Amino acid sequence: MSLLSCRDLNVKIAKTQVCSDLNLSINAGQNWAILGMNGCGKTTLLHTLAGLLPALSGDISLSERPLYNLPRKEIAQQLGLLLQHQEDHFPGSVLESVLIGRHPHLKSWQWESEDDHKMALDALVLVGLTDFSTRSILTLSGGERQRVALATLLVQQTSIRLLDEPVNHLDIHHQHDVMKLLTSKNNIANVFVLHDVNLAARYCDHALLIFGDGRTVKGTCDEVLTEKNLSTLYQHPLKDIIHDGQRWFIAS
């Protein structure tokens, strides 16, 4: 069963045609990369797939049910979204921020349980913030705040996750730790908006290329991530090399 799919999807932002008649099916265990130049509409497409923005036309389904017919709480129980930028307008602790990920699973006026607190603390361990639970969210660096957002997404426990630049603000060490963590569960589908094509080649099995004029190319990474496709996508020649069994794309 497809966890998230779209049929004949048309998305546009300002004068940019993000996609035209896009048909996509994302299944459990798949890791998709969305790649394209700045301003091509990657974030807009991700927000459309999450039901936050309307499409010009076409259908989106979550677990084979029309997305726009589902209550937001039910969507949030199945689909998690990591935003590109985190904004904190009010002070609060790191633990309180992570516990927000449990809210879709709580009843009205229900407080987080002891199990919810343990889940949040365990998630902080996974993202390398073991001793940060009592820290104010306003005192964190950009990279630390990004990892708190990832912990929040983890405790939401959804079957599909849409992640807009999940390694934003992270150093190389944490970039790879985060990508390994997110792709380690075989039953969860991830859709990553990425700027680094080498992270896509290493951690994803499928890719969607957005050219910004309505054209898209999709398929497995072996099929889609080629010198020709990527050089056209980024309007710069790229060369595909293999080192120690790993594919790398470098600018010529």
pLDDT of residue 12: 96
The HSE-up count of residue 234 (CA atoms within 13 Å, CB side) is 19
Domain of 145 in residue numbering reads as 2-251
In our burial notation (b when 16+ CB lie closer than 10 A, e otherwise), range 95-116 reads bbbbbebbebbeeeeeebeeeb
CA–CA distance, 250 with 228 (Å, rounded to integer): 13
Question: Residue 209 is inside which H or E element, if any?
Answer: strand 206-210
61, 67 Cβ separation under 8 angstroms: yes
* Backbone torsion region of residue 241, taken as left when φ is above 0, otherwise alpha when ψ lies between -120 and 50, otherwise beta: beta
Alpha helices in 50-169 (DSSP H): 72-78, 94-99, 114-126, 142-156
CATH code for the domain of 216: 3.40.50.300
Residue 208 identity (one-letter amino acid): L
Distance set, CA 96 to CA 19, 73, 133, 155, 222 (Å): 38, 19, 8, 12, 42
Distance set, CA 51 to CA 61, 86, 118, 246 (Å): 10, 19, 30, 36
62, 77 Cβ separation under 8 angstroms: no
CA–CA distance, 241 with 249 (Å, rounded to integer): 6
Total domains in the fold of the chain: 1
Q: Which of 44, 143, 134 is nearest to 86 (CA)?
A: 143
pLDDT by position in tens, the chain (length 252): 799 999 999 999 999 999 999 999 999 999 999 999 999 999 999 999 999 999 999 999 999 999 999 999 999 999 999 998 877 777 899 999 999 999 999 888 888 899 999 999 999 999 999 999 999 999 999 999 999 999 999 999 999 999 999 998 899 999 999 999 999 988 999 999 999 999 999 999 999 999 999 999 999 999 999 999 999 999 999 999 998 888 899 998
195, 210 Cβ separation under 8 angstroms: no
**pTM, to two decimals:** 0.95
Helix (H, G, I), strand (E, B) or coil at 162: strand
